[in-house]
Amino acid sequence: MTTINEALRHFELPRLEARLLLSAVTGFSHAELVSFAPDELTAQQWQAFAALAQRRLAGEPVAYLLGEREFYGRPFRVSPAVLIPRPETEHLVDAALHKVGRNRRARVVDLGTGSGAIGVTLALEAPQWQVSAVDLSPAALAVAQHNAANLGATVSFHLGSWLAPLPADAVFDAIVSNPPYIDAQDHHLDEGDVRFEPRMALTDGNDGLNCLREIVAQAPARLVAGGWLLVEHGYDQGAACRALFTAAGLQQVATLPDLAGNDRVTLGCRA
């Protein structure tokens, strides 16, 4: 039999990752894993842990192995059908809440919702908002719907491309999106966790700006006067996004940095 301590040392995994996987198979918290370190795992627990560890050593993201990732302090279900929510995207949520105002009535749509992290979080943080969310992938939309139900968020979900599945006369106080923006030639697509994430949610198969171009072109006609378009993008796409926003006639165009100081969110307002 193998003890918890021996299991933590058995595979060449970072200690935190090994503990997360052991927590998943034993139900113990991190503190309990430390307290019960000399205790032996059951044969079933050891086999389950070893299987997860081997998958992690092969590069599979911990979030997919656990089926969950925290975003804005809440647990979101994730699967290989959706991108893994990242801390950088919280800047997009913060910007939308600030620009629209969380304590007033507003209509907001999240385009390319994936796991629903953005749309569900906005609905929970601003309960007076009427939030819609759109995705082209039925599998992704199912994950987002689960997260909304599990977290108690009221969100209207729509299957389709960008604004197309929404009523033609629907206008919004904010349109938010974290679209595919990685250049198809970017080497990062073949490295780390990204290798396991849905390619269509990462890149447009071109220069990384095609989806952003589509969204910016469609958005002004679907915003109320004073409404905001806010998009997440790559660290080197701030200038290009500002140019797209300005060409579309949006006002007060600006790019916000993430905590690392990289361009991350561009926003603009309809006059």
Query: Which CATH number do you get for residue 219?
Result: 3.40.50.150
204-238: pLDDT as tens digits: 999 999 999 999 999 999 999 999 999 999 999 99
In a domain, 153, yes or no: yes
Nearest CA among 209, 217, 213 for reference residue 181: 209
Question: From CA 179, how far away is CA 216, in angstroms rounded?
Answer: 11
CA gap 5, 9 in Å, rounded: 7
On whether residue 173 sits in a domain, the answer given is yes
Whether 70 is in a domain gets the answer no
pLDDT band at residue 74 using 50, 70 and 90 as cut-offs:
very high
Q: Are residues 35 and 169 in the same domain?
A: no
Q: For residue 112, which of 137, 75, 88 has the smallest C-alpha distance? A: 137
* Domain that includes residue 39, residue range: 4-58
Q: What is the mean pLDDT of the chain?
A: 96
Query: Is 163 within 8 Å of 111 (Cβ atoms)?
Result: yes
177 lies in a domain?
Answer: yes
Residue 131 pLDDT > 90: yes
pLDDT for residue 250 = 98
164 and 111 in a common domain: yes
53 with 93, same domain? no
Rounded CA-CA distance 111/43 in Å is 45
Contact predicate 20/28, CB 8 Å: no
Q: Render pLDDT for 163-217 as a digit per residue (tens, 0 to 9).
A: 999 999 999 999 999 999 999 999 989 998 899 999 999 999 999 999 999 999 9
Burial of 229 (0-12, 13-18, 19+ CB in 10 A): buried
Q: Same domain, yes or no, for 189 and 232?
A: yes
Does some domain include residue 69? no
User: What does the alpha-carbon distance between residue 238 and residue 74 come to, in Å, rounded to a whole number?
Assistant: 29
* 14-66: pLDDT as tens digits: 999 999 999 999 999 988 888 887 788 999 999 999 999 999 999 999 999 99
Q: Is the residue at 38 inside a domain?
A: yes
Tell me, yes or no, whether 27 lies in a domain. yes
29 and 151 both lie in a single domain: no
Residue 1, pLDDT above cutoff 90: no
> What's the structural domain count of the chain?
2
Nearest alpha carbon to residue 213 among 266, 138, 160: 266
Same domain for 206 and 145:
yes
Residues 218 and 177 in one domain: yes
Give, as one character, the DSSP assignment of residue 103.
T
